[in-house]
Amino acid sequence: MKKQETVKTSKWRSVLWMAISLLASLLLWVYVTESEGENIERSFPGVQVRFDGESTMRDTREMIVSDDSTTSVKVTLTGSRRALSALSSADLSAVIDLSRITRTGNYQLSPTISFPSRTDTSAIASIVIDPDSVSFYVDKLDKKTLEVRGVFNGSTAEGYSADPLSFSPSTVIVYGPGKVLDTVDAAYVEVNRTDVDRTLSFDSTFVLLDAEGNEVESDALSFNTEQVNVTLPVRAVKEVYLTVELVPGGGATEKNVRWSLEPGSITLLGDAEVLSGVNSITVARIELAQVEDAMQETYRVELPNDTELIVGARETTLTLELQDLETAYYTIDKSNISFINVSEGYTALAEDSLDKVRIRGSHAVLEQLSDLNIRAVADLKNYGTATGRFTVPVQISINGASASEVGAVGNYEIVAILSEATEEEGER
């Protein structure tokens, strides 16, 4: 009985080892078949065509590829399943070697297939390319200088204005086939910004346009620069009021003056920083002592640096009238005419009294004045040691009254007699 059980167990062990051997053989066969076994065929559509040596041909022989009608090919590979399953169309390139091309003309060359570095090319049995050759034209490399143009399609903030765009460099050089360059008219930049309140300066790419304004795209073109610097000048717009400076005198102050300017304001365009400090422009300095009762005068408006007038005029007319003042006429006796800055050893005398001196002020102040209150002073600092009779300007002063209350109107002169002092006058 025990012997039968032993025999039975031995048979089961033999069957088990046979099953294990068969399974191992099967797995080995599958592995060998998949990795190193029978070759398979696989197609890769859309493999890109690449020209090798194009930059060297352009730089050393001044030629360029154009009219490359075939940009991709279909590649069919035969090889091991393992090698082909690791590839895609994007991994492959159909390479055209340009190293032997030395002249312009039509060419038809067969490409070679470039594989990734990880590919075991010994596992590739055959390569079929469709189409098997690529036609292209090698043209002479020409160049064309294009003006850089542009447009600002955005908006400025309220109170600001944009000037035309400027570019640096103002031209770009485009290299490429002559027949392609013939279609190109300008390099173009479009600026899209909103609420701009300052001058902008930045680098930008450009597009090429034909004469009708249509964009020109071509892989055959290259440039001396890929970007240009764009400047968008933005200036402030500001209304500035016109005014005059009133210098008190002749008994008149600002409270006695009624005046207006026409126009009374102008609108300027200029640098925002400059205009920020400009709220008014003084067109004239009016000395009220020289104004009789009223005046009308036209003045030129001097604009701040780096600004320009966009609304208004470069001239404005001042109309001025004095009010609430009276005038009276007085005589200044020779005894009330004095001289200052007389040279040592010389004397000065007034030849006559000064008549019809017009004094202006309020009625109450004028009532209190007499001829004795009014003096004239002549300054002789510019006469040195001159002798003889000279017409000399004088300043009128009024004793006991401030310049804001009363003053002389106009300019006055006297005849002064200048001479060397006598011995007696020198002793005095």
pLDDT for the residue numbered 15:
60
Residues 256 and 298 in one domain: yes
Judgement on whether residues 187 and 209 belong to the same structural domain of the protein: yes
Exposure of 57 by Cβ count < 10 A (0-12 exposed, 13-18 middle, 19+ buried)?
buried
Among candidates 129, 117, 143, 39, which has minimal Cα distance to 84? Answer: 39
44 and 2 both lie in a single domain:
no
CATH number at 167 reads: 2.170.120.40
In a domain, 138, yes or no: no
Which H or E element spans position 376?
strand 374-379
Q: Do 349 and 273 belong to one domain? A: no
pLDDT of residue 222: 85
> Residues 54, 7: one domain?
no
Q: Are residues 254 and 223 in the same domain?
A: no
Q: Read off the pLDDT of residues 158-172 as tens digits, 9 standing for 90 and up.
A: 989 899 999 999 999
Q: How confident is the model at residue 11 (pLDDT cuts 50, 70, 90)?
A: low
Asked whether the predicted pLDDT for residue 248 surpasses 60, the reply is: yes
- The bridge status of strand 280-287 relative to strand 234-247 is parallel
Range of the domain at 273: 236-322
What's the CA gap between 207 and 45, in Å, rounded?
32
Structure tokens given for 219: 């892989």
CATH number at residue 76: 2.170.120
252 and 187 in a single domain? The answer is no
Is 141 a member of any domain? no
Percent of the chain with pLDDT over 90: 70
With the C-alpha atoms ordered 417, 421, 423, 427, is the resulting torsion angle positive or negative?
positive
Judged on CB neighbours under 10 Å (0-12, 13-18, 19+), 153 is: exposed
Domain end among 322, 356, 373: 322
Q: What string of H, E and C letters represents the secondary structure of 250-263?
A: CCECHHHEEEEEEC
In the structure, what pLDDT confidence band is assigned to residue 99 with cuts at 50, 70 and 90? Answer: very high
pLDDT at 17: 62
One domain for residues 184 and 243: no
- Summarize pLDDT for 18-59 with one digit per residue, the tens: 667 666 655 554 454 454 558 999 999 999 999 999 888 888
- pLDDT (tens digit, 9 = 90+) per residue, 56-89? 888 888 888 877 778 999 999 999 999 999 999 9
Distance separating alpha carbons of residues 14 and 130, to the nearest angstrom = 57
Tell me, what's the pLDDT at 1? 47
When pLDDT is averaged across residues 351-375 and rounded to a whole number, the result is: 90
Q: 335 with 407, same domain?
A: yes
Is there a contact between 137 and 69 (Cβ–Cβ < 8 Å)?
A: no
Return phi, psi of residue 407, to 5°: -170, 165
User: In the chain, how many domains are there?
Assistant: 5
- Decide which of 288, 306, 322 is a domain's last residue: 322
Q: Which residues contact 229 (CB under 8 A, 6 or more apart)?
A: 167, 168, 201, 202, 203, 204
pLDDT confidence band for 401 (50 / 70 / 90): low
Least confident of 251-265, 314-328, 373-387, 398-412: 398-412
What's 407's domain CATH number? 2.170.120.30
Tell me how far apart the alpha carbons of residues 169 and 1 are, in angstroms, rounded to a whole number: 109
**Class of residue 399 by CB neighbours under 10 A (exposed 0-12, middle 13-18, buried 19+):** exposed
Say if 87 falls within a structural domain. Answer: yes
Same domain, 333 and 317: no
Task: Answer whether residue 187 is part of any domain.
Answer: yes
Mean pLDDT across 377-386: 94
Mean pLDDT within 91-118: 94
- Same domain assignment for residues 225 and 242: no
pLDDT for 136 beyond 60: yes
pLDDT at 115 over 60: yes
Q: Using the 3D structure, point to which of 270, 290, 322 is the last residue of a domain.
A: 322
User: What does the pLDDT read at residue 41?
Assistant: 95
Q: Beta strand 207-209 with 166-168: parallel, antiparallel or unpaired?
A: unpaired
Does some domain include residue 270? yes
Phi-psi region of 349 (alpha: psi -120 to 50; beta: other; left: phi over 0): beta
Q: How confident is the model at residue 274 (pLDDT cuts 50, 70, 90)?
A: confident
Average pLDDT estimate for 395-412: 82
Scanning 191-309, the segments in alpha helix (DSSP H) are 272-276
Residue 139 lies in a domain: no
Return all residues near 167 (Cβ < 8 A) that are at least 6 apart.
148, 150, 189, 228, 229, 230, 231
Whether residue 254 lies inside any domain: the answer is yes
pLDDT of residue 263 exceeding 70, the answer is yes
Sign of the alpha-carbon dihedral angle for 403, 408, 413, 414: negative
Pair 394, 307 in one domain: no
> Is residue 372 domain-resident?
yes
Outline where 81-158 has alpha helix (H). 81-85
Tokens of 326: 């009276």
Give the pLDDT score at 403: 52
